[in-house]
Amino acid sequence: MRKPTAKETAAIRDCAARNADDLDAGERQCLFDLVVDPCANSKSSDAGKAVVVECYLVENSIWDALLNENYKSLLETVDDGQTAKARAMQRAWSAYRDTTCQFYDDKIQGSMSVTMHAACVTRESAQRAMPLKFFSRL
């Protein structure tokens, strides 16, 4: 899998920062439009699902890095009791993401499930990264 370009990374990070106070707008403006769509559209139409999956994985790597940074920032702002709760919250979210995205494979059971699973993981990571940043600013 290729790594995200500096331009792709900056686009997601800038968009997330601009929309830090409006999580719904952030999702609408930042998710898939800045990396997945241009990536998938730049490939030949006969490249297939593998290319689209790779595009989702590239975007997810950006969101995942942002999610981890935002989680670490959150942990720096809480006391010991809140740290335990934040960790429990994050573990529960991780289990939710994994179970939810795995269901695409379980329900669809075909090649399309791979694409849908990749999109799900990317979407869930983005949707988690932004509120973690919000929590760290409280």
* pLDDT tens digits, 30-89: 999 999 999 988 865 555 778 899 999 999 999 999 999 999 999 999 999 999 999 999
* pLDDT tens digits, 2-15: 999 999 999 999 99
> Measuring CA to CA, which residue among 58, 49, 54 is closest to residue 111?
49
Please state the pTM of the whole predicted model. Answer: 0.91
> Measuring CA to CA, which residue among 108, 107, 12 is closest to residue 56?
12
